[in-house]
Amino acid sequence: AAVKKYQFDVVVKNVSRLCHAKPIVTVNGMYPGPTVYAREGDRVIITVTNHAQYNMSIHWHGLKQLRNGWADGPAYITQCPIQSGNSYTYDFNITGQRGTLWWHAHILWLRATVHGAVVIMPQVGVSYPFPQPHSEAELMLGEWWNADVETIENQGNILGLPPNMSDAHTINGKPGPLFPCSDKHTYALEVEWGKTYLLRIINAALNDELFFAIAGHSMTVVEIDSVYCKPFTTEALLIAPGQTTNVLVQANQSPGRYFMATRPFMDAPVPVDNKTATAILQYKGVPTTVLPLLPKLPAPNDTTFADSYLDKLRSLNIAQFPANVPLTVDRHLFYTIGLGANPCTTCLNGTRLTASLNNITFMMPKIGLLQAHYFNTKGVFRLDFPDKPVTPFNYTGAPLTANLGTSMGTRLSKVAFNSTVELVLQDTNLLTVESHPFHLHGYNFFVVGTGIGNFDPVKDPAKYNLIDPPERNTVGVPTGGWTAIRFRADNPGVWFFHCHLELHTTWGLKMAFVVENGNGPEQSVLPPPKDLPLC
């Protein structure tokens, strides 16, 4: 195993897109930021130096950070922010993981521009469980706002209003030639006829689940969220914020130029199609004057495509990469997802939109929760997050005003070391058209079941897939439906659990688990690093 070192300088840089120039926060002046390359088993040491006038923290999305939440990154959960002028070194080992993940700022909405890919290659001498591609490329799907992203965030947060949608989607930070002033802001991937390419696709968008397709070329999905899956071929894929998808593409069509395109699935408040980002699959030697073809993307409200696509995702589950699904459950959790409104004196309408789990809107603490847990600091959080809704109701029936109000609090759930947990996430019919992509820090989990309507605790578990369910770190809970996940709580620490739609996180759709230490130092949280930022 090797040691990989990176220096991340957080700097503000002027960038122009869609005929607008504005200062954005970047890492090393790059948008998207640099890719972190490592191999399974490596130690990675990344020093983040904050030269910007913003507080900063960086999360390594999907990296398990075994016993080492100090390197996880979400502000006020596992660390205090890195203040302007200061540095913090994220020092972690990559154990038992290989594939595509990513990193992003985990404070305010700074991840809009502060994000990059993490590529973890298999150990030396270990090959992919699919044909070796000729070459590989990362495609980061994102969003661009002409306005300042802080202003947009404050619309959602302080004023309590739904904020403006982004002005364009992007592929590797570029919207592509369907937008004004964007010819030179177009990503192109050159391919040679007859060769196979591995595309590592990452959804870094703040608020949109996305479709992605390539004109004239089908894709073979081979990995999701850094876990190999049973390969299947598709014309389009669906990817939620936080998720990654690796596909193989064969450059076997008549040599030309083909658009790769991405646009939202079920965008709120209404499905619209004025944000489609494009990039170009460019066959070597074809003149760049040839007009590319556009792919057919599923319609923005095509839930039939979405359901059938998601249904095809299965863990590879071979001897070398087994799916270790917990077959028994020590702890059953049932969380409702609510969007509602609370009274607010500073808000324009006298109410503030809120989001909640089991009717609890999470309030960010003033110091890092992991620090408070490790040093046993009292008064920072409570350990009384309810295992199920206090008042059950018809979750997907007519909206109940009684369920609109929420209580605010920094309430966490305590989980015993190495216990097996099943968590059913139940959407409720309150003010929403989107699926909620939920992300658990510190773990992968198995998506053992999903369905529309109210979860039935007797009938639905009988239909669970406990053989080869998809294993991932972020899963979409369908609109008006439910999703059941299972994991073994073998990573002690404080782990954030939240919707990866940034707007919903801002509104409070988040909580955290405290996974207790096991026996002895080998099963306990490591001591904090000396340079851990304090508040």
Please state, in angstroms and rounded to a whole number, the distance separating the CA atoms of residues 146 and 112.
12
Percentages helix, strand, coil for the chain (3-state, rounded to 5) are 10, 40, 50
Please state, in angstroms and rounded to a whole number, the distance separating the CA atoms of residues 309 and 315.
14
Closest residue to ligand C2O using C-beta atoms: 61
Q: Which residue has the tokens 């390969």?
A: 231
Taking CB under 6 A as the criterion, the residue among 17, 39, 61, 67 binding ligand C2O is 61
Six token digits for residue 469: 């369910």
Residue whose CB is less far from ligand C2O, 98 or 106: 106
User: Which residues, numbered 158-217, are part of the site for ligand C2O (CB under 6 A)?
Assistant: none
According to the binding rule CB under 6 A, does residue 275 interact with ligand C2O? no
Please state, in angstroms and rounded to a whole number, the distance separating the CA atoms of residues 491 and 495.
9
Residue whose CB is less far from ligand C2O, 90 or 496: 496
Six token digits for residue 104: 């992003």
Taking CB under 6 A as the criterion, the residue among 106, 314, 352, 504 binding ligand C2O is 106
Task: Provide CB contacts within 8 A for 185, sequence distance 6+.
Answer: 17, 173, 174, 175, 176, 179
Candidate ranges 4-12, 92-100, 137-145, 493-501; the one touching ligand C2O (CB under 6 A): 493-501
Q: How many residues bind ligand C2O (CB under 6 A)?
A: 11
* Per-residue binding letters, 221-260, with ligand C2O (x by CB under 6 A): ---------------------x------------------
According to the binding rule CB under 6 A, does residue 115 interact with ligand C2O? no
According to the binding rule CB under 6 A, does residue 496 interact with ligand C2O? yes
To 5 degrees, how large is the angle CA 451–CA 457–CA 458? Answer: 105
Residue whose CB is less far from ligand C2O, 39 or 439: 439
CB of 104 to ligand C2O, least distance (A): 6
Please state, in angstroms and rounded to a whole number, the distance separating the CA atoms of residues 454 and 460.
10
According to the binding rule CB under 6 A, does residue 74 interact with ligand C2O? yes
CB of 253 to ligand C2O, least distance (A): 35
According to the binding rule CB under 6 A, does residue 64 interact with ligand C2O? no
Residue whose CB is less far from ligand C2O, 97 or 342: 97
Six token digits for residue 143: 């969003």
CB of 500 to ligand C2O, least distance (A): 6
Q: For residue 500, give the DSSP letter.
A: S
Candidate ranges 185-193, 312-320, 442-450, 494-502; the one touching ligand C2O (CB under 6 A): 494-502
Please state, in angstroms and rounded to a whole number, the distance separating the CA atoms of residues 60 and 71.
8
- The answer to whether the CB of 137 falls within 8 A of the CB of 35 is no
Chain-centre distance for alpha carbon 277: 19
How would you classify the pairing of strands 244-250 and 219-224?
Answer: antiparallel
According to the binding rule CB under 6 A, does residue 504 interact with ligand C2O? no
CB of 117 to ligand C2O, least distance (A): 13
CB-count burial class (<10 Å; 0-12, 13-18, 19+) for 445: buried
Candidate ranges 25-33, 189-197, 418-426, 496-504; the one touching ligand C2O (CB under 6 A): 496-504
Query: How does DSSP assign 217-252, residue by residue?
Result: B-EEEEEETTEEEEEEEESEEEE-TT-EEEEEEE--
Taking CB under 6 A as the criterion, the residue among 17, 59, 185, 352 binding ligand C2O is 59
Residue whose CB is less far from ligand C2O, 109 or 455: 109
Please state, in angstroms and rounded to a whole number, the distance separating the CA atoms of residues 473 and 43.
21
Taking CB under 6 A as the criterion, the residue among 64, 98, 104, 174 binding ligand C2O is 104
Candidate ranges 250-258, 303-311, 313-321, 495-503; the one touching ligand C2O (CB under 6 A): 495-503
Please state, in angstroms and rounded to a whole number, the distance separating the CA atoms of residues 182 and 176.
6
Residue whose CB is less far from ligand C2O, 59 or 257: 59
User: Which residues, numbered 432-451, are part of the site for ligand C2O (CB under 6 A)?
Assistant: 439, 441
Peptide bond preceding 241 in cis form (omega within 30 of 0): no
Write out the residues near ligand C2O by the rule CB under 6 A: 59, 61, 74, 104, 106, 242, 439, 441, 496, 498, 500
